[in-house]
């Protein structure tokens, strides 16, 4: 595995997110918050990967709104279209072209041993080829922009390692075009869902949306599972095993944490109160984000313009890479001398 050393200044960074609805706390802590920080020091490409969503069987009626909602989340948390290239994957056709070309250097065996493929395909009667080839499109997303750094969660490290192998194989066969992309591992680790036993994920209904209003945040957080040993209100609790306390560490004023932990351990504050404090902290943390999201939702034309402009910048970069790739792979038949 490539070492996850800190990126050098002005690395080129690519990261993508599927448009599976509005972002939740896991997306924010595990990805978006760090993306916002990266854009100050690096050249960043942030992509809404709508073509990846197709392998999950998303409905054509739902997809456009999901892309729009995720764009609003991106911009509302502080991704800045002046600093970064923010765009939608299907607006740059070279993603799928490069994916096809990378098929040529990717053994099927490598794809079949991907854990995510094994997990997801097990649950299906008929496995779409796109599910198997998913990591090739992911490699294309990254390599198309010759990105050298990719912020990822741990679950994506295996795919990124495959992208590195694909780049290595392609370069050794056709010439040096692609840097081998290295991970920037998310500092937040895996954020657990409100159920307390699986990662927070849209598909599990265990999330808190970052754009949720106060009453929704309170309603959701109230359902969070806490220390299972704490049955009665005044039982002593263990903050170190409690997911609510983990979330406090991310969202509550650090000066309040020692008291919250001590009162939990002593059984002097019940979980219901503790969750209400957390819900208030979350609501407060995202207040400016919600405010920006409201403004953006009221000016959809502006959001579209940003995505169009991002796509234009992305296409220019993609065209340059693909010129070199097509030539290296012998796809410039016009250059043949009779
Ligand atoms: P979901 O599982 O909700 O569909 P995605 O798989 O689309 O989320 O993830 C998008 C990004 O958010 C990825 O970078 C992923 O690593 C990060 N992410 C998603 N859920 C979590 C989580 N529970 N903890 C940490 N990071 C997460």
CATH number at residue 60: 3.40.50.620
pLDDT above 80 for 338: no
- Return mean pLDDT, the chain: 94
Together in a domain, 123 and 258: no
Q: Which residues line ligand 1 (CB under 6 A)?
A: 17-18, 20, 26-27, 30-31, 153, 156, 186, 188, 190-191, 199-202
Together in a domain, 221 and 107: no
Tens-digit pLDDT profile for residues 84-102:
999 999 999 999 999 999 9
Tens-digit pLDDT profile for residues 280-296:
999 999 999 999 999 99
Number of the ligand 1 atom closest to the C-alpha atom of 207: 3
Buried/exposed 103-115: b ≥16 CB within 10 Å, e otherwise: eebbeeeebeebe
In the chain, the number of structural domains is 2
Together in a domain, 186 and 42: yes
Q: Which of 20, 31, 77 to mutate to test the pocket of ligand 1 (most atoms within 8 A of CB)?
A: 31
Residues 142 and 163 sit within 8 Å (Cβ to Cβ): yes
- Within 10 Å of residue 200's Cβ, how many Cβ atoms? 23
Q: What is the pTM for the complete model shown?
A: 0.93
In a domain, 293, yes or no: no
Report H helices in 59-194. Answer: 63-77, 94-103, 108-112, 115-122, 129-143, 157-174
User: Burial, 334: exposed, middle or buried (Cβ in 10 Å; 0-12, 13-18, 19+)?
Assistant: exposed
Q: Which of 118, 120, 249, 275 is catalytic?
A: 120
State the pLDDT at residue 97. 98
Of the ranges 136-150, 295-309, 324-338, which one carries the lowest mean pLDDT score? 324-338
Together in a domain, 187 and 219: no
Give the whole-angstrom CA distance, residue 13 versus residue 150: 6
Number of the ligand 1 atom closest to the C-alpha atom of 24: 3
User: pLDDT band at residue 2, thresholds of 50, 70 and 90?
Assistant: low
Q: Which of 16, 25, 30 to mutate to test the pocket of ligand 1 (most atoms within 8 A of CB)?
A: 30
DSSP string covering 1-56, please? Answer: ----PPPPTT-EEEEEE--SSS-BHHHIIIIIHHHHHHHHHSEEEEEE-HHHHGGG
Ligand 1 centre to CA of 191 (Å) is 9
Range of the domain at 329: 12-191+300-335
Together in a domain, 281 and 313: no
State the pLDDT at residue 229. 81
With a pLDDT cut of 70, the percent of the chain lying above it is 98
What does the chain come to in residues?
338
Number of the ligand 1 atom closest to the C-alpha atom of 189: 25
pLDDT above 80 for 7: no
From the list 182, 151, 141, the residue with the least C-alpha distance to 79 is 151
State the pLDDT at residue 189. 85
Nearest CA to ligand 1 atom 12: 27
Give the whole-angstrom CA distance, residue 70 versus residue 63: 11
State the pLDDT at residue 236. 87
Together in a domain, 309 and 275: no
Active site residue 199: yes
Ligand 1 centre to CA of 193 (Å) is 11
In a domain, 6, yes or no: no
Together in a domain, 103 and 72: yes
Tens-digit pLDDT profile for residues 215-257:
999 999 999 999 888 777 788 889 999 999 999 999 999 999 9
Together in a domain, 331 and 221: no
Strand partners, 44: 13
State the pLDDT at residue 5. 64
Together in a domain, 134 and 19: yes
Ligand 1 centre to CA of 16 (Å) is 11
């Amino acid at each position: 595995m490539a070492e996850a050393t800190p990126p050098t200044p002005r690395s080129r960074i690519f990261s993508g997110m599927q448009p599976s609805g509005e972002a939740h706390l896991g997306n924010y802590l595990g990805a978006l918050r760090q993306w916002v920080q990266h854009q100050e020091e690096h050249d960043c490409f942030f992509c809404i990967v709508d073509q990846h969503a197709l392998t999950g069987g998303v409905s054509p009626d739902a997809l456009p709104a999901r892309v729009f909602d995720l764009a609003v989340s991106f911009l509302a948390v502080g991704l800045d279209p002046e600093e970064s290239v923010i765009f939608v994957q299907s607006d740059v056709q070279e993603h799928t072209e490069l994916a096809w070309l990378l098929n040529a250097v990717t053994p099927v065996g490598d794809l079949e041993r991907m854990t995510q493929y094994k997990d997801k395909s097990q649950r299906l009667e008929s496995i779409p080829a796109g599910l198997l080839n998913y990591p090739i499109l992911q490699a294309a997303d990254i390599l198309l922009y010759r990105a050298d750094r990719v912020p990822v969660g741990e679950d994506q490290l295996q795919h990124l390692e495959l992208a590195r192998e694909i780049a290595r194989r392609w370069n050794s066969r056709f010439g040096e075009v692609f840097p081998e992309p290295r991970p920037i591992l998310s500092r937040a680790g895996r954020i657990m869902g409100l159920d307390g036993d699986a990662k927070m994920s849209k598909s599990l209904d265990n999330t808190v949306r970052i754009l949720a209003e106060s009453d929704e945040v309170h309603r959701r957080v109230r359902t969070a599972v806490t220390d299972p040993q704490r049955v009665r209100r005044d039982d002593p609790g263990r903050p170190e095993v409690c997911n609510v306390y983990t979330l406090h560490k991310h969202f509550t004023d650090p000066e309040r944490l020692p008291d919250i932990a001590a009162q939990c351990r002593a059984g002097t504050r019940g979980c219901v109160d503790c969750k209400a404090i957390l819900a208030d902290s979350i609501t407060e943390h995202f207040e400016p984000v919600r405010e920006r999201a409201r403004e953006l939702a009221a000016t959809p034309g502006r959001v579209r313009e940003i995505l169009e402009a991002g796509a234009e910048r992305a296409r220019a970069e993609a065209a340059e890479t693909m010129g070199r790739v097509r030539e290296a792979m012998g796809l410039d038949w016009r250059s043949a001398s009779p």
